[in-house]
């Protein structure tokens, strides 16, 4: 009797196991990118870039043009509403796990993105590692439709560009953490399309175009490429950046590649005055010397070092002043650092931090260590008499 019972249990386990509820890969439509725009009547336009599976050994879809993706769009009152409408257009289940980037049109960013971004925080199917970017000066949908020459699917190119972290690279997780934390506001990267012609079928390029500053889920301003580079250093995200400087007296200009950068912020809150000191330290080599100086000489390298430090300090100071006086947005996280290091002082000012941040005194100090002149010694086109020793 006991053996018969064991046999029945084993037989039942065999019947219950298996993949009866699995989804075949042929039943999925792989979304590689999403774009959100604002329509004229205030609805949201959701566009999806969907990869076209190869149906022939050569990778095409027959003998004609080898398109690798297509774009579908639908409007809705929120992201979920538009997504459901798109699902009804598809014979396959829309699959989001392979999505690389989410694009936000600039007009929607300035209107506010709470109506489209909330679904990504609650839907377990959404990956929080997905990059989020603002499309500068145009429709986000247009970027999905751009035919990029270097990659079969253009969103993969954007993913690689963001991975290089040459400018601001923010994913959904980073955005939600900053948006929900006290003493810091979110900032995300910006991108823009650079078409090479008027023909819609012609290849186009896009480029990273600075960053977008958000406050209370609304885009309040933009930072250009130079300002974004300064912000990267101020937020301790600088990596292989270049610094250029003009020497005083019209002596020319020099360039430095910073291969290692650090940032340290100290705070002092006494009475109504709040002060921050931003110490930026960098190491690297000279990569360009458009002067008459022989930069292998100690006195000349000291002159170059001073000019580069002044240039970097001005660059970072300018972007911090813009955040303070123009946008009232603490995207660096000075308030967060004050809360961590001086909780009593933070408690007294947290309810009016916007005003306190705008009034805070922020001093920037830059210290560079130039480890070598590399190939940027005396200019090769000059003779010995023209070189300043």
Q: For the chain, which residues make up each domain, given as ranges? A: 25-56+65-223, 224-389
Per-residue pLDDT at 288: 84
12: left (phi over 0), alpha (psi -120 to 50) or beta: alpha
Per-residue pLDDT at 64: 43
CA distance 253 to 43: 51
Per-residue pLDDT at 62: 42
Give the bridge partners for 34, in sequence order: 48, 102
Sign of the alpha-carbon dihedral angle for 138, 142, 143, 149: negative
Per-residue pLDDT at 321: 96
pTM for this prediction: 0.81
Which overall architecture, per CATH, does domain 224-389 show? 2-Layer Sandwich (3.30)
Per-residue pLDDT at 319: 96
Tell which residue, 258, 240, 223, has the closest CA to residue 331. 223
- Residue 215's alpha-carbon distances to 111, 121, 138, 330, in angstroms, are 11, 18, 21, 9
- Stretches where the chain sits below pLDDT 50 are 15, 20-21, 55-65, 200-201, 383, 385-386
349: left (phi over 0), alpha (psi -120 to 50) or beta: alpha
Query: Length of the chain, please?
Result: 389
Per-residue pLDDT at 365: 97
CA distance 300 to 294: 7
**What pLDDT digit, counting tens, does each position of 184-218 carry?**
999 999 998 875 555 544 556 788 889 999 999 99
**What pLDDT digit, counting tens, does each position of 342-353 carry?**
899 899 899 999
């Amino acid at each position: 009797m006991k053996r018969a019972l064991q046999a029945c249990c084993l037989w039942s386990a065999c019947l219950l196991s298996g993949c009866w509820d699995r989804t075949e890969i042929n039943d999925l439509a792989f979304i590689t990118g999403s774009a959100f725009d604002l329509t004229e009547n205030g609805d949201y336009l959701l566009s999806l870039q969907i990869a076209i599976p190869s149906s022939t050994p050569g990778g095409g879809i027959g003998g004609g043009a080898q398109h690798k993706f297509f774009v579908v769009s639908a409007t809705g009152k929120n992201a979920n509403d538009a997504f459901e409408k798109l699902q009804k257009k598809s014979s396959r289940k829309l699959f989001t796990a392979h999505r690389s980037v989410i694009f936000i049109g600039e007009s929607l960013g300035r209107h506010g993105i709470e109506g489209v971004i909330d679904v990504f925080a609650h839907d377990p199917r959404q990956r929080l590692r997905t990059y989020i970017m603002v499309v500068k000066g145009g429709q986000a949908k247009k970027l999905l439709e751009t035919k990029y020459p270097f990659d079969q699917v253009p969103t993969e190119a954007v993913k690689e560009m963001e991975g290089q972290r040459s400018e601001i690279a923010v994913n959904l997780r980073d955005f939600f953490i900053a948006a929900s934390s006290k003493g810091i506001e979110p900032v995300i990267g910006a991108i823009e399309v650079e078409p090479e012609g008027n023909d819609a079928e012609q290849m186009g390029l896009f480029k990273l175009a600075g960053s977008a500053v958000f406050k209370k889920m609304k885009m309040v301003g933009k930072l250009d490429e130079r300002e974004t580079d300064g912000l990267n250093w101020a937020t301790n995200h600088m990596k292989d950046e270049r610094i250029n400087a003009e020497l005083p007296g019209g002596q020319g200009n020099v360039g430095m590649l910073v291969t290692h950068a650090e940032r340290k912020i100290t705070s002092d809150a006494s009475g109504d005055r709040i002060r921050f000191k931003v110490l930026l330290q960098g190491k690297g080599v000279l990569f360009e010397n458009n002067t008459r100086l022989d930069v292998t000489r100690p006195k000349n390298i000291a002159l170059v070092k001073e000019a580069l430090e002044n240039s970097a300090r001005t660059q970072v100071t300018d972007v911090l002043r813009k955040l303070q006086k123009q946008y009232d947005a603490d995207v660096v996280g000075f308030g967060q650092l004050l809360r961590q290091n001086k909780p009593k002082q933070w408690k007294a000012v947290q309810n009016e931090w916007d005003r306190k941040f705008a009034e805070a005194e922020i001093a920037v100090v830059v210290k560079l260590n130039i480890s070598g002149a590399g190939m940027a010694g005396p200019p090769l086109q000059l003779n010995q008499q023209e070189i300043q020793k």
